[in-house]
Amino acid sequence: MGNTDIEAVLQSLTLEEKISLLAGANFWETVQVPGKVPSVKTSDGPNGARGADFTGGTPAACFPAASCVAATFDTAAAFKVGEALADETHSKGARCLLAPTVCIHRHPLGGRNFESFSEDPFLAGKLSSQIIQGVQSKGVAATIKHFAVNEQETDRFTVNETVSERALREIYLRPFEIAVKEAKPWAVMTAYNCVNGTHCDSNDFLLKQVLRGDWAWDGLVMSDWGGTNSTADAINSGLDLEMPGPTLRRKPADVIAAIQAGKTTKAAVDERVRRVLKFLDILKDPETPKEQAIDKPEVRALIRETAAHGAVLLKNANQVLPLSKEKVKGKKIAVLGLAKTPLAHGGGSASVNAHYKISPWDALQSALGDSAELSFSSAFHTQRLLSPINKDNTEVGTVTGLDGKPGWTIEWHDLKTDEVASTSHGFNESNLPLGTDEGFGKAINLIADFIPAESGAHYMGCTGLGSAHVYINDKLVFDQGGPCKDAMGFIFGALSEEEFTYDFTAGEKYRIVIKSDPPTGIKGLELLNDRPGIRLGFQLAGEHDKDLTSEAVENAKNADYALIFTGHDPKWETEGQDQASFNLPRQGSQDALIAAVSKVNKNVVVVNSTGVAVAMPWLDDISGLVQAWFGGQECGNSIADVLTGKTTPEGNLPISFPRCIEDAPAHGNFPGEYDAHGQLQVTYKEGVFVGYRHYDRLAGGGAAAAEVLNFPFGFGLSYTTFDFGELRVSPAPTSSSPFGAEYDILVEVSNTGAVGGGVLVQVYAGPKDPAAHECPVKQLVAFQKVRLQPGEKKAVSLKAAVRDLGFFDETKGKWVVPKGGYKFSLGRSAAELVKSVEVEVGEELVFDA
């Protein structure tokens, strides 16, 4: 569009055309009105622009996950990532990126934490603000999500979260507020869940009072996919766009009926359409060109550098790291675990079909060359699901369809007659989560002749979105016993299936038939209803039951160093499922390996790739530990850069790492309890005391926190050392902040070590008497990453908002900074404060919400 007379276009539309614009045309695109209103294509997501294909499709750049970006504490890097994400969005024919995700890490088991930044709302808000500004600087709309309080995946479509307004304002809405006021994202996506009894897509408090009212935001509000729960209420509350299409809640007849019944009005419809038209006008001419895979060298470099800077060195006893070429020359290094598995991203809508993924094994071989002798052992079983039995999984045997071609025959059956409505050939993927238009409302039979490569009682696993029955040579060998209990877990391959065995003889032919009816009655994700989906996994008995740990221990016993790579793959850490355990998967195998190797090798270094904190029962027994997160397509190179010293580690934890899950602030209130009506209810009883705010209030402060934490928020080691000079704080003479008056903060930083590196200047502030208003002891109010060469000094200037000294007063509906004394502190982490200075607020200050 571009500089269009919005009101003229609005008046030219019929009521039916207006209503049509309030929902998507298909899974990714909005509706167009030929000659009047163009369509725009959207694309996931935070880790890269995936394009239209949900399970593969056009290759794309895979960026570090948000928790890795957060660990850089680097606003400039976040802006560059945003710019690159915009270019990627353009390459996928889209103009609206469904990112960033800014919800808080409330609990370590949150399945989607990796996709969000931090337990700290200030850090999350500042980094998301920069990503948004980077994205939108290139004409692509950023869509900040999920508004709001989407901190768990369990029953996320229907869960009701009870949260005080103070906790909402100070913690859960705060990152959105910072980003909205600083970066002005062009779109906001609502969350699936209910907040204080009302779904987010029709929540007047969130959409009318806060977003449109207090924050005066004027962009487009869209639903999460399948997250529109009403017709009239959502229109009235301010949900502009239902996604995806075709519509479920905004059929013209239904909206017109609601208008006639007085449940909504034509004026409300006009206002929603007006927002859609303004959004399209900002995008100028949002045409949808063909998708492209553009692999840029500069993007490769950005991803590699960002992931390396986000890696956090957590332990380095006796300077076991770095493993430079000189240090390891002639040495033997046992490389164990997930070293050949590039843990680039988590699962769900944040995953992409990456251009490539570099494994740590390949990267280490390249980095060290022939300096050291590297040996590999896979060391443990971690698969959540058995690999699909298909034409590509030839090591287990062959599958042939009824047409004689490799693969499966797919039969779509009419539910009324059970007659074959159509057939096709395929089932090469692990599942068919959304079926096809051809199969909508039909039952599915998958048929193939299987010839196993080996004899044995081999393992199988099956899940159907609806029912699931497996027959081998006409004998029923598996019955799921009803529809899948977790449809979202099925879609993202995050279910722990019940495995069963069947005796096969090598070379013999077995007819396998899988039958499944489509699901009905799925609550929350109704778009899956009537769409059949099925998967069948298979693993040879010898591979399934192989003792990998003993082999790895023997390898490590003869090595000078043992590098153990641990973590979550996208099946274990994913949208749609909260974590199965605080311990690394599967069934304690990773923890057991580290414990066993530590007994035979004194130089054990663990490299962990997760988006969350995990249990570390072996922490005292190892020499080195690196938290590498999900580093994107260059994850292996980034890890090798840190391990070998090419990059000096400079990451800092954006989350606290508790020793036990019982010590997490939300323990006992996550994921909630079911009420008499079967709805999951969770109460945020911890209030504003999330993350380090909780650990600060333990009796004894830092000392007590250290007893329950493996590592505190803000912690991170380096290969060099840094000193801080005097901390000075004074009122700023002027302020350009959207949050009002500010303080100027000044501190000198020097690199006192032998190599160049980056250090985080992290400043916290809090009242001298936090108990007076039940405030946290302190909270992060300013930060800056500084890079210095050996011997270099730099005066670092920061600003902090005066409002951040206070709290949200529910009785006044305002932010209040009480009269009294406040302490600013410079820290090496939230638990180690090295410099402090006090300021005095002479009279109570009040700020609008």
Same domain, 812 and 745: yes
Q: Is residue 73 part of a domain?
A: no
Mean pLDDT of the chain, nearest integer: 94
DSSP reduced 3-state for 360: helix
Cα separation of 156 and 159, whole Å?
5
**Residue of 574 and 383 predicted with greater confidence:** 574
Same domain, 401 and 488: yes
Spot the catalytic one: 224, 233, 578, 591: 224
Q: What is the pLDDT of residues 291-331, one digit of tens each?
A: 999 999 999 999 999 999 999 999 999 999 999 999 999 99
Q: Is residue 32 part of a domain?
A: no
Same domain, 539 and 556: no
The domain boundary residue, chosen from 576, 603, 632 = 632
Assign 438 a pLDDT band (cuts: 50, 70, 90): low
Same domain, 359 and 426: no
Q: What is the pLDDT of residues 659-682, one digit of tens each?
A: 999 999 999 999 999 999 999 999
Same domain, 467 and 535: yes
Assign 487 a pLDDT band (cuts: 50, 70, 90): confident
Same domain, 532 and 554: no
Residue 744 scores a pLDDT above 90: yes
Report the amino acid identity of residue 348.
Answer: G
Cα separation of 440 and 322, whole Å?
56
Q: Is residue 345 part of a domain?
A: yes
Average pLDDT over residues 35-64: 92
The domain boundary residue, chosen from 604, 632, 660 = 632
Average pLDDT over residues 355-369: 97
User: Where in the sequence is the domain holding 556, given as residue range(s)?
Assistant: 313-384+546-632
Q: Choose the weakest-confidence range: 470-484, 538-552, 642-656, 798-812.
A: 538-552
Cα separation of 193 and 160, whole Å?
6
Assign 495 a pLDDT band (cuts: 50, 70, 90): confident
Of 688, 689, 682, 657, which Cα lies nearest the Cα of 668?
682
Q: Is residue 80 part of a domain?
A: no
Residue 509 confidence (pLDDT): 97
CATH number of residue 603's parent domain:
3.40.50.1700
Contact 339, 378 (CB under 8 A): no
Residue 217 scores a pLDDT above 90: yes
pLDDT above 90 covers a percentage of the chain that reads: 82
Q: What is the pLDDT of residues 336-349, one digit of tens each?
A: 999 999 999 999 98
Q: Choose the weakest-confidence range: 88-97, 414-423, 507-516, 712-721.
A: 414-423
Cα separation of 208 and 221, whole Å?
11
CATH number of residue 811's parent domain:
2.60.40.10
Cα separation of 729 and 839, whole Å?
8
Residue 496 scores a pLDDT above 70: yes
Give burial (CB, 10 Å; 0-12/13-18/19+) of 270. middle
Same domain, 516 and 610: no
Cα separation of 559 and 360, whole Å?
18
User: How many domains are contained in the chain?
Assistant: 3
Q: Is residue 647 part of a domain?
A: no
Residue 426 confidence (pLDDT): 66
How big, in percent rounded to 5, are the helix, strand and coil portions of the chain? Answer: 25, 25, 45
DSSP characters over 299-328: HHHHHHHHHHHH-EEEEEGGG-----HHHH
| 496 Cβ contact list (under 8 Å, min separation 6) | 384, 580
Assign 416 a pLDDT band (cuts: 50, 70, 90): confident
Residue 379 confidence (pLDDT): 85
Residue 838 scores a pLDDT above 90: yes
Residue 435 confidence (pLDDT): 45
| 354 Cβ contact list (under 8 Å, min separation 6) | 48, 59, 60, 61, 62, 344, 345, 632, 633
Q: Is residue 266 part of a domain?
A: no
> Is 224 an annotated catalytic residue?
yes
**Residue of 80 and 428 predicted with greater confidence:** 80
Residue 429 scores a pLDDT above 60: no
| 556 Cβ contact list (under 8 Å, min separation 6) | 334, 336, 562, 597, 600, 601, 604
Same domain, 403 and 446: yes
The domain boundary residue, chosen from 570, 598, 632 = 632
Residue 288 confidence (pLDDT): 81
Same domain, 508 and 416: yes
Neighbour order of strands in the sheet with 807-809: 807-809, 814-817, 845-847
Q: Is residue 564 part of a domain?
A: yes
Same domain, 504 and 432: yes
Neighbour order of strands in the sheet with 456-464: 499-504, 456-464, 534-539
Residue 433 confidence (pLDDT): 43
CATH number of residue 509's parent domain:
2.60.120.260
Same domain, 537 and 593: no
Same domain, 587 and 627: yes
Q: Is residue 416 part of a domain?
A: yes
Assign 250 a pLDDT band (cuts: 50, 70, 90): very high
